[in-house]
Amino acid sequence: MFLAGSAAVVVAACSDDDTTGSTDLKTTTPATTIPETAIPETTIPESTIPETTVPATTIPATTTSLAPIELSGDPFTLGVASGDPDSTSIVLWTRLAPDPLDGGGMPSDDVEVTWELGTDETFAEIVATGVITAEAAHAHSVHVIVTPPRATDGLLTYRFRVGQYTSAVGRTKLAPAGSASLARFVSASCQNYQDGFYAAHRDIAEQQPDFVLWLGDYIYEGGAATVGEGAAVRSHLTPEPMDLDGYRNRYALYKSDLDLQAAHHACPWLIVWDDHEVENNYAAEIPQDTAEASAFVARRLAAYTAWWEHQPVRLDPPQASGEYRIYRDAQWGDLVGITLLDTRQYRTDQACGDITLSLDPACPETFDDDRTLTGDEQEQWLFDTVGSHGTTWNVIAQQVVMSNLTLNGAVLNFDQWDGYPANRDRVLRHLADAEVPNVIVLSGDIHLAGIGILRDGEPGIGQAVAVEFVDTSISSSGLIDPAVTELVKSFPDIVDVELAYRGYTLHTVTPTDWSAEYRIVEAVTDPESRVTAYKTYVVDEGAAAVRSVG
Ligand code: FE
Ligand code: CA
């Protein structure tokens, strides 16, 4: 609804052209061609997101020659975000949506948005600025890659402006270019809006980490739950999304949460998806309910498109057909190399009908050599990339639990790596054969805090090649009864689990040790809940083992 008179705001509409000029193709640098002494930049799929480096004085702050557009209110209701930092540039994001829960409420024209990069909250010094088009075809979302002058390699701030409106201020930073002695970052996943409030995000913002690694389930696709005592704490409001409008409204609902916005405003995020960004336990082009198979490819494209529109990712939007590559890598100086996987899009369907918690031996299909969680291409890419960054630590950031939780031949959850044993064997064998040092696997999906040892070979016996940290969930309800805690801990390669609390993991990394602090939300039903340190596990450089420090 438009407000009357002076409340209506006139801003400039514009053509598709990026008025800041340069449009570069980011080139993918195969890890194998990088000289040993160089610090490789982030290797990502090619992107055509406009990249700009412009001194403030050369760019008009606004354009005035284009047709006016009226906005019905403040368009910056979804906050701002930054992501995919490398050592020279970062992606800034926002979406214009004065009526966020009902299609956005924007006119059908494209709109020009001014972005500004500063060094503090006052923007007394603007180190770069430009104008970017918010395209109506992409829900007036904005993705701009900015390259600040190298002089500003500490804290960066950014904001957007349209007409009289100015967005919230985000804080961000580039990845260090050379040696790095410290990285503090979060791994987190699974924020079902209906299951809890986001006290965990408020705590993430207060921690001021260097970055957040998001491992999936940013939205949940379920319909509107009943709210009340013993039921959902808040409602999705709308039915299960099946098309682009539905997914856009669902993202807008999640992003309207101010604690989630605060966590985005605090630091850059590196984001991959899991299943609920589309549908529970889907596999490639196979939906959970096979009766819906014919419509699923279009539904998945709608979900992928809305994901791109709402995330600060250094990627082009998905095209009308085919696969959409989001797996990519990043690094934090010479300290941490990161491979970010997509274990949903290329996987074989879950074996044995995807039954859960059956104690019968897994059906023979489970052990087929050609079953894959990563797809062949991504598997080869992982082998080429993990360990290629010349960093002390090598992270495999992915979705589903990799540690062995099989029980006398029974697979308790066919959706995780246990259901794809041949693929897992190849990955762990590669880590052993290639002697990839100091591998940390970060996982989400299963809504529990867990620490596991990954072995090339039999559980409890094979060579330890990595440590796995499972981050529990920001808000999504636990899936396993805390009453079986001791049973889960009794698996040979499980070091510890915590099943009752929601939260996230705060990692503090130095050249000599990796410290994973599990932070837990005391009451997920309380938006003001305290969030406290629960336990901390440390990996010493050179050993695929953990020790508890309380
Ligand atoms: Fe989840
Ligand atoms: Ca999941």
Q: How far, CA to CA in Å, does 549 sit from each of 17, 183, 516, 537? A: 55, 19, 10, 6
* 81 φψ region: left (φ > 0), alpha (ψ -120 to 50), beta (else): beta
Instruction: Please say if the pLDDT value at position 383 is more than 80.
Output: yes
Ligand 1 centroid to Cα of residue 367, in Å, is 26
Q: What is the DSSP letter of 501?
A: -
Instruction: Please say if the pLDDT value at position 548 is more than 90.
Output: yes
CA dist., res. 40 & res. 30, Å (int): 10
- Lowest mean per-residue pLDDT among 49-53, 209-213, 315-319, 397-401: 49-53
Would you say the pTM of this structure is higher than 0.85?
Answer: yes
* Distant-in-sequence, close-in-space partners of 67: CB < 8 Å, separation ≥ 6: 12, 13, 109
Angle at 121 between CA 116 and CA 126, to 5 degrees: 35
Ligand 1 centroid to Cα of residue 164, in Å, is 39
Q: Which ligand is nearest to the CA of 275?
A: 2
Average confidence (pLDDT) over 382-387 = 98
* 101 φψ region: left (φ > 0), alpha (ψ -120 to 50), beta (else): alpha
Instruction: Please say if the pLDDT value at position 6 is more than 60.
Output: no
Ligand 1 centroid to Cα of residue 442, in Å, is 14
Angle at 30 between CA 28 and CA 33, to 5 degrees: 130
CA dist., res. 251 & res. 336, Å (int): 30
Ligand 1 centroid to Cα of residue 220, in Å, is 8
Ligand 2 centroid to Cα of residue 278, in Å, is 10
Q: Which ligand is nearest to the CA of 400?
A: 2
Instruction: Please say if the pLDDT value at position 19 is more than 90.
Output: no
Instruction: Please say if the pLDDT value at position 391 is more than 50.
Output: yes
- pLDDT value of residue 50: 57
Instruction: Please say if the pLDDT value at position 62 is more than 70.
Output: no
CA dist., res. 66 & res. 133, Å (int): 13
Ligand 2 centroid to Cα of residue 446, in Å, is 7
Could you tell me the two tokens for 106?
Answer: 């924007």
> Is the Cβ–Cβ distance between 81 and 89 less than 8 Å?
no
Q: Which ligand is nearest to the CA of 413?
A: 2
Angle at 286 between CA 282 and CA 290, to 5 degrees: 100
Ligand 1 centroid to Cα of residue 444, in Å, is 7
CA dist., res. 3 & res. 25, Å (int): 41
Q: Which ligand is nearest to the CA of 280?
A: 2
Neighbouring residues of the ion ligand 1, judged by CB less than 5 Å: 190, 217, 476
- pLDDT value of residue 69: 76
Ligand 1 centroid to Cα of residue 345, in Å, is 16
Ligand 1 centroid to Cα of residue 215, in Å, is 10
Ligand 2 centroid to Cα of residue 52, in Å, is 36
CA dist., res. 180 & res. 187, Å (int): 19
Instruction: Please say if the pLDDT value at position 25 is more than 80.
Output: no
User: Which residue from 302, 271, 280 is spatially nearest to 189, judged by alpha carbons?
Assistant: 271
Ligand 2 centroid to Cα of residue 419, in Å, is 15
> Is the Cβ–Cβ distance between 276 and 219 less than 8 Å?
yes
- pLDDT value of residue 38: 39
Ligand 1 centroid to Cα of residue 214, in Å, is 12
- Lowest mean per-residue pLDDT among 35-39, 177-181, 329-333: 35-39
The owner of tokens 């403030």 is 56
Q: Which ligand is nearest to the CA of 474?
A: 1
Ligand 1 centroid to Cα of residue 415, in Å, is 12
> Is the Cβ–Cβ distance between 213 and 185 less than 8 Å?
yes
Which residues sit opposite 270 in a β-bridge?
A: 213
Instruction: Please say if the pLDDT value at position 99 is more than 50.
Output: yes
Instruction: Please say if the pLDDT value at position 81 is more than 60.
Output: yes
Ligand 2 centroid to Cα of residue 333, in Å, is 30
> Chain-centre distance of CA 210, in angstroms?
14
Ligand 1 centroid to Cα of residue 128, in Å, is 38
pLDDT tens, position by position, 204-229? 999 999 999 999 999 999 999 999 98
CB atoms within 10 A of CB 16: 8
Q: What is the DSSP letter of 135?
A: B
pLDDT greater at residue 154 or residue 435: 435
User: Which residue from 403, 291, 273, 405 is spatially nearest to 344, judged by alpha carbons?
Assistant: 273
Q: Which ligand is nearest to the CA of 218?
A: 1
CA dist., res. 54 & res. 52, Å (int): 6
pLDDT tens, position by position, 224-265? 999 998 899 999 999 999 999 999 999 999 999 999 999 999
Ligand 1 centroid to Cα of residue 264, in Å, is 19
CA dist., res. 485 & res. 168, Å (int): 43
Instruction: Please say if the pLDDT value at position 41 is more than 90.
Output: no
pLDDT tens, position by position, 409-453? 999 999 999 999 999 999 999 999 999 999 999 999 999 999 999
Average confidence (pLDDT) over 35-51 = 47
Q: Which ligand is nearest to the CA of 192?
A: 1
Ligand 2 centroid to Cα of residue 189, in Å, is 9
Ligand 2 centroid to Cα of residue 351, in Å, is 17
Average confidence (pLDDT) over 22-33 = 32
Ligand 1 centroid to Cα of residue 271, in Å, is 14
Ligand 2 centroid to Cα of residue 436, in Å, is 28
Instruction: Please say if the pLDDT value at position 154 is more than 50.
Output: yes
Q: How far, CA to CA in Å, does 247 sit from each of 108, 238, 271, 302? A: 19, 10, 17, 7
CA dist., res. 466 & res. 544, Å (int): 5
Q: Which ligand is nearest to the CA of 447?
A: 1
Percent of the chain whose pLDDT exceeds 90: 82
Confidence at 49, pLDDT banded by 50, 70, 90 = low
Instruction: Please say if the pLDDT value at position 64 is more than 90.
Output: no
What is the chain's alpha carbon radius of gyration, rounded to the nearest angstrom?
23
Ligand 1 centroid to Cα of residue 501, in Å, is 14
Ligand 2 centroid to Cα of residue 288, in Å, is 13
> Is the Cβ–Cβ distance between 399 and 349 less than 8 Å?
no
Ligand 1 centroid to Cα of residue 234, in Å, is 17
Ligand 1 centroid to Cα of residue 396, in Å, is 19
Could you tell me the two tokens for 62?
Answer: 């606004």
Ligand 1 centroid to Cα of residue 122, in Å, is 38
